[in-house]
Amino acid sequence: MAMDESVRKAILGAVPSLRAFAISLCGNVDRADDLVQETLLRALANIDSFQPGTNMSAWLFTILRNHFRSEYRKRRREVEDSDGHYAETLKTQPEQYGQVEYREFREALAQLPQDQREALVLVGASGFSYEEAANICGCAVGTIKSRVNRARTRLAELMHVNSAEDFGPDEQVRAVLAGGE
Amino acid sequence: MNERKPVGQQNPIESAANRKRTGAKPAKLGRDVQARLGQQLRAMYDDVVNQGVPDRFTEILHRLEANGSSKDGH
């Protein structure tokens, strides 16, 4: 079946967000782009199983997430990878998101357990509802909610923030960066 | 409940998660902290989103589309 123009547009439209999600999962831009590429190839090979009218983005996120999980498990066996290793990877790539202002936040995010990190990103950044995030992760809505809550609490602990005022230093960095542009 | 009340106006970039929090147990975190964490998360994420679609992905789709068409005999 030749690809419908609208399908192609929907897939391309999802790519920027897929990349952002992939980077949050694997903590490495090159690896994330490979992950997105593998996701697109899988999606296109199985495009007939996509239900027209349903959410293309959620479908692609599901493929990417499942693919990452299986690859991650494989790699973990190979090199004894772990979330700790992931965090180390991030620390050696300070330019990861291109902005020094996110360093502290990024490092805290990297220390979250994978389940919590993906739930937080899907709901808090990708804009999925709890229901959509639960479908993508193949778990119950309540599970997603509790993961997101735990992720937020843990992030605040890791960043030592108890109130909005504690974000002060980051704000200063932000202001300096904004002023330098 | 020791949930902090937001002082003054809520940030306009209120997280989608907060909007959908109905039914969830109130988090221990103050809403202001949650909002700020959400803001940082989205700022970081949107930095990547704003990079758009790298050429390699556009090329893959074009290439596969061409292959698909030829297979169909077009």
Alpha-carbon torsion (A16, A22, A28, A32), positive or negative = negative
Give the H or E element holding residue A12. helix A5-26
Minimal C-alpha gap between A145 and chain B (Å): 7
What fold does the segment set A1-81 form as a domain? Rna Polymerase Sigma Factor; Chain: A (1.10.1740)
Bigger pLDDT: B8 or A140? A140
Please name the residue that has the structure tokens 């306009």.
Answer: B12
Confidence of residue A84 (pLDDT cuts 50, 70, 90): low
Counting Cα atoms < 13 Å in the Cβ hemisphere of A82 gives 2
Residue in B36, B59, B67, B71 to test binding to A, most A beta-carbons within 10 Å: B36
Could you tell me the residue ranges of all domains in chain A? 1-81, 96-181
Q: What percentage of chain A exceeds 70 in pLDDT?
A: 72
Confidence of residue A104 (pLDDT cuts 50, 70, 90): confident
The DSSP 8-state label assigned to residue B8 in this structure reads S
Among the listed ranges A103-107, A126-130, A176-180, which one has the minimum average pLDDT value? A176-180
- The 10 Å Cβ neighbour count of residue A35 is 24
As given in the structure block, the two tokens for residue B6 are: 């937001």
As given in the structure block, the two tokens for residue A153 are: 């609490």
- The 10 Å Cβ neighbour count of residue B34 is 27
pLDDT at position A73, please? 72
Q: Are A27 and A90 in contact (CB under 8 A)?
A: yes
Write the CB contacts of A10 (distance below 8 Å, at least 6 apart in sequence). Answer: A56, A57
Bigger pLDDT: A141 or A106? A141
Kindly determine whether residue A105 and residue B65, on different chains, have CB atoms separated by under 8 Å. no
User: pLDDT digit string (tens) for B20-48?
Assistant: 444 444 445 788 888 888 999 999 999 99
What Cα–Cα distance (Å) separates residue B43 from each residue in A113, A121, A126, B36, B59? Answer: 21, 12, 11, 10, 28
Q: Are B7 and B32 in contact (CB under 8 A)?
A: yes
Could you tell me the residue ranges of all domains in chain B? 28-71
Apex A171 CA angle, A168 and A174, nearest 5: 160
Kindly determine whether residue A8 and residue B54, on different chains, have CB atoms separated by under 8 Å. no
Closest listed residue to residue A23, CA positions, set A101, A126, A104: A126
Contacts of B16 in chain A (CB under 8 A): 123-124, 127, 129
The mean pLDDT of A7-16, rounded to a whole number, is 93
Please give the distance of CA A181 from its chain centroid, rounded to a whole number: 28
φ, ψ for residue A155 (rounded to 5)?
-60, -45
What is the rounded distance in angstroms from the CA atom of residue A153 to the CA atom of residue A58?
26
Please name the residue that has the structure tokens 């009340």.
Answer: B5
ipTM for the predicted complex comes to 0.76
pLDDT at position A28, please? 85
Concatenated DSSP letters for B17-51?
A: HHHTTTTSPPPSS-HHHHHHHHHHHHHHHHHHHTT
Confidence of residue A22 (pLDDT cuts 50, 70, 90): very high
What fold does the segment set A96-181 form as a domain? Arc Repressor Mutant, subunit A (1.10.10)
Minimal C-alpha gap between A80 and chain B (Å): 28
As a residue count, chain B comes to 74
Write the CB contacts of B61 (distance below 8 Å, at least 6 apart in sequence). Answer: A3, A8, A11, A12, A40, A44
